[in-house]
Structure 1
């Protein structure tokens, strides 16, 4: 019995993430090229008003996704990823589809960021093929993910510091420019909201065009917020999750407010959506030149910062590629622990690294070499189109798991006071976020139908994710004949049984209730 116990626990992840690393890891995953670069194309499509509304609407939804995850993770900390919660609280088939969807999302996101890193290098060395840098940076990311989690956390901590410094610098610079602190001494303020205006027309003319412009901003905002929920993947390797999980979740609100909304406000103050420089940059580049922040700086007559910003963006993409492999490997590890993936991918080294899961996830970095036969920027666009629906499906899985979790609490008579963490406006916030996510998922591929006629390639890229999710769910349900987890039968004990503090609190709440 002793040997079997040791064997069972030898493949567990280590809780070696430090609280400061968890906090900064969440920033590292949340701030990426979607905000710094992708917001430029959204600004050109919808204008500053549409962009701000979209970022606020999606930001609120993402905040509720995070608080939903926080309630579950603080109460039942698991090392099986989001698929583990979906299996336990909805249906094992739903958990199977969720876990594999998360894996698919990040094995696509990794070559996306590797390609972006190569494109950024081309800012200085356009004579070198992007594939060279895909190989170099892939090796770096794989090496980092084979280390103990505390070293992964330290690398991401340092990268996060760089990200915060770069983004804060960009926000302050754009604000100073809009207030007249530029070589032209021109104070724009919110002038661009009046001329050319707050809302741009996209594809069509008139009100329909302005609506499509806003919806383009909504879809792009989803891509920008991709990764905010990734901090949930660290909870299985975080000490004292009852304390550290709520702290990480609460900090999400301030990240959204400061890093996203404020950044979008200052961009709208410094760059007109019809700027020729912006339109040209976003249509031909995915390096720093396409960033609306860089366009704002160049329009102000400052020509020394783009190279510095490009260096910062290189850190952004390399950090993102490393965290992509981390998330993909932990998702695969969780699937293996639930018997939904090859058993070998659930094994770890003595340092706690799920090396076989890391190796499996790393194989798909080779997708970055597709740019050898296609334009790198075109391949980048394909990957972005795939990532967004995968991400929205992840959010929906978390929200549906949370709503089932809340129902089970009511049915089993467990008071909310017994939870280590409860959030404001829940479960209504989860319903709001689920509604927004559903709309984005269904209408994300609008551009395949509107404009120049039906575009089959766009349609496939935008709706491949939902189709794969549905097929995985249906196949596992038929193969294993799984049943939906009823609220009365949901396991809300395993994982808390050895928590004497929680048992004492639970007994006290039940007696007083």
Structure 2
């Protein structure tokens, strides 16, 4: 029985109708149509009345009060009325370029100065491999369980309620903090052209842009991210071509550079410790890669679009991170004073390399790309935090009102909380905004590491539950290309990164050890420990983890006719096997 059948039958029509078709299914009453996403009947009352009614809640139906906390959370997540209006092009562009932002364009400058070009390449390659394994694991889980809240809900399902509480709040706080920081970064980026106008004016403009985009719900987010990501992808491809030309001496001021900067001042700025210090910046630059999994619950056909989107992450890592940063390390010496002596675009190694080549006009173009990237991440932060807050309420980790989702699939309370926290962006006009935002960054600095490690752990627990309960991967429409080994590698590398950050935080490079520098890197860890034990004692939930035989691997599954699914998968494999080698190779990577 399909998920939609859990609703009250008298309020619904035949759920066999595809949710992707337009409002074409009409009744005898010309003013009544069927919402293609929720399958509920609606009355057309005119534009303004429909707009006002769209903010009303959608009833999720009766829920058995005898269900356990985990079972209740799984059922609510499966029934969520989030709209499935994201198309394949949206999801693929979100996967390819959705989270490319200041971490790559600006943060790579401080990483280059701290570790040197070789350290940057090593850190980004290792983090990139780990991210590919993580996204593959996430793709398998999201296609099997395309439920609201996505991977933050998987921690409760596959590990434990206490760990799910920690990770859900960890992820929500990460995105809540990102919004004001990105808006301030956007105002700083504008200073590259004009520093006379008060920062609060620019912050207001960008804040209004984010509000307008999110009023249109997931459709507005998808279209905005499609445009933003497309511009970022084109800009990075353009820079790769330009970087090769600059390295070969094609700039107005340039001679042949080659690998000169790897010889003098050198490939490493601080040896092995410098490599460890760079990991936190590389992790920050990859933050948001998992958003394609969060969007799975709002995708028309995740089984078809999500596998392709997860594969696109490989190309993003290889082309947009590794190649571009290798060229940056070849074209900019790590001892360039501008890397640490400036803020915003002025500290971007991408801009500095163009300036060093004597090319006029293009630095402003690259600055505009950085501005677009910052606005994109700010927009994504509202999307990520609002959906996570709604999932928190579904799991009983936040007040029930936080799970309010209107008839257009907008988690209004979550969006409102995110935008309210975003008002902290006006601290950009304060003389002490640097201190405030350093501590805000400390709250979410290592959040992504825990999120990614937990995704891999959930995948391992899911596979173990299948094995213990006598089930197999043949009932999955998509399996991770990296398999269990990839998830083991993901967990291991995330643990090693945490250990490296502990060492660097305790003994910073070139500075004496002090509590301030330590907690500005590691503040996230003690907060997680407090959250964990708070939930354990408050809820009297002393289970460290769920036993494999007790894990729920059925609630929320989109495909319930396992025999039909297995037949479809076998037919798809047979079709692929009949194709030429080059086609199979293309489908493997794309």
TM-score scaled by length of structure 2: 0.80
Q: Which residue of 1 aligns with 2:362?
A: 305
Indicate whether 1:15 and 2:67 are aligned.
no
Indicate whether 1:428 and 2:485 are aligned.
yes
Structure with the greater alpha carbon radius of gyration: 2
Distance in 2 separating the partners of 1:116 and 1:504: 51
Q: Which residue of 2 aligns with 1:504?
A: 564
Distance in 2 separating the partners of 1:146 and 1:211: 47
Deviation digits for residues 67-122 of structure 1, max 9, x if unmatched? 11111111122112322100000111211111111100001111111111010111
Q: Which residue of 2 aligns with 1:146?
A: 215
Shift of 1:378: 5.5
The correspondence for 1:103, drawn from 172, 177, 183, is 172
Change (3 A) 1:448 1:284: farther
Distance in 2 separating the partners of 1:314 and 1:378: 23
The correspondence for 2:307, drawn from 241, 246, 250, is 246
- RMSD between aligned residues: 2.3
Change (3 A) 1:455 1:303: farther
Distance in 2 separating the partners of 1:123 and 1:242: 44
Q: Which residue of 2 aligns with 1:46?
A: 115
Shift of 1:307: 1.4
**Stretch of structure 1 that moved more, 230-239 or 436-445:** 436-445
Shift of 1:253: 0.8
Q: Which residue of 1 aligns with 2:380?
A: 323
Q: Which residue of 2 aligns with 1:449?
A: 507
Distance in 2 separating the partners of 1:378 and 1:38: 18
Q: Does the aligned pair in 2 maintain the 1:117–1:318 contact within 8 Å?
A: yes
Q: Does the aligned pair in 1 maintain the 2:351–2:367 contact within 8 Å?
A: no
Q: Does the aligned pair in 2 maintain the 1:82–1:98 contact within 8 Å?
A: no
Aligned pairs, how many? Answer: 497
Q: Which residue of 2 aligns with 1:26?
A: 95
Shift of 1:398: 1.0
Does the residue aligned with 1:427 lie in a helix, a strand or coil?
helix
Distance in 1 separating the partners of 2:562 and 2:117: 48
Distance in 1 separating the partners of 2:522 and 2:286: 19
The correspondence for 2:532, drawn from 473, 491, 505, is 473
TM-score scaled by length of structure 1: 0.91
Distance in 2 separating the partners of 1:492 and 1:130: 50
Indicate whether 1:336 and 2:393 are aligned.
yes
Q: Does the aligned pair in 2 maintain the 1:226–1:388 contact within 8 Å?
A: no
Distance in 2 separating the partners of 1:287 and 1:308: 14
Shift of 1:175: 1.1
The correspondence for 1:94, drawn from 163, 169, 172, is 163
Deviation digits for residues 166-197 of structure 1, max 9, x if unmatched? 21122211111001211135111222222222
Change (3 A) 1:410 1:47: same
Provide structure 1 residue ranges, at least 5 long, that are not aligned to the other structure: 202-209
Indicate whether 1:131 and 2:200 are aligned.
yes
Distance in 2 separating the partners of 1:448 and 1:110: 28
Q: Does the aligned pair in 1 maintain the 2:505–2:521 contact within 8 Å?
A: no
Provide structure 2 residue ranges, at least 5 long, that are not aligned to the other structure: 1-7, 13-57, 62-78, 570-590
Shift of 1:376: 5.0
Shift of 1:139: 2.3
Residue pairs, 1:86-485, within 5 angstroms: 86-201=155-270, 210-275=271-336, 279=337, 281-374=338-431, 381-445=438-502, 446-450=504-508, 451-482=510-541, 483=543, 484-485=545-546
Change (3 A) 1:266 1:508: closer
Going by fraction, where is helix more abundant, 1 or 2? 1
Shift of 1:503: 4.3
